[in-house]
Chain A
Amino acid sequence: QKEVEQNSGPLSVPEGAIASLNCTYSDRGSQSFFWYRQYSGKSPELIMFIYSNGDKEDGRFTAQLNKASQYVSLLIRDSQPSDSATYLCAVRGGTYKYIFGTGTRLKVLA
């Protein structure tokens, strides 16, 4: 059974700090990795994807991938209260489908 693991949190950070969210996966052959943000009562929305080792930056978000250690991270710089949400990690689990972690709840304290 392919698995994606995330700490459920909540992860609390003060406004303006860096939030670091982590995800580990079991399938060493996985190639595509995604981060989704889900506000309470809303649907997930795609915020980052990464498929190569190293870092990928998009605005205040940086995704980091380490295939040898089988983890992917999401860093949020200058965290804002509006970043408070649940962040879902997803890993490609087959040609047409992705496996999701249970999500990490982030709380940014004003």
Chain B
Amino acid sequence: NAGVTQTPKFQVLKTGQSMTLQCAQDMNHNSMYWYRQDPGMGLRLIYYSASEGTTDKGEVPNGYNVSRLNKREFSLRLESAAPSQTSVYFCASSEAPGKGYGYTFGSGTRLTVV
């Protein structure tokens, strides 16, 4: 069981470049999430998808876009990277968060914007 798979694991971008972070889960979960984690700031929600076909903004959506491609895949796009987007990005999924199920996290993407 792969769980939640994120690619790439590491990435260095120049300011202004764009990139897409990929996430796929094989647990048939309905809900998927993108978080960023910064020292002293904890995990902050960027976007989430409660179910296939829906996406919603989280706490820090500016500078990001998402696509829920199908039930398995949820991608995060940085259109014009900025140094403030240097962070560790985690994708997560949940079977039924409304019923109290927790998250399963991917291994993370370490992004540096120079």
> Do A and B come from the same complex?
yes
Q: Which residues of A approach B to under 8 Å, CB–CB?
A: 8, 31-32, 34, 36, 42-46, 49, 51, 88, 90, 92, 95-103
Contact: B42 with A103, CB < 8 Å? yes
Q: How far is the CB of B35 from chain A (nearest CB, A)?
A: 8
Asked if B102 CB lies within 8 Å of chain A CBs, one says yes
Query: Which applies to chain A's interface (DSSP): helix, strand, loop or mixed?
Result: loop
Contact: B102 with A97, CB < 8 Å? no
Q: Which of B41, B102, B106 contacts A102 (CB 8 A)?
A: B41
Q: Assess A102 versus B40: contact at CB under 8 Å? Given A31-B100, A45-B105, A51-B100.
A: yes
A64 to B48, CA, bound (A): 29
A45 to B35, CA, bound (A): 14
Contact: A43 with B97, CB < 8 Å? no
Asked if B98 CB lies within 8 Å of chain A CBs, one says yes
Chain B: CB-nearest residue to A100 = B43
Chain A: CB-nearest residue to B91 = A43
Asked if B33 CB lies within 8 Å of chain A CBs, one says yes
Please indicate which of the listed interface residues A34, A42, A44 has the most CB atoms of chain B within 10 Å of its own CB. A44
Contact: B97 with A92, CB < 8 Å? yes
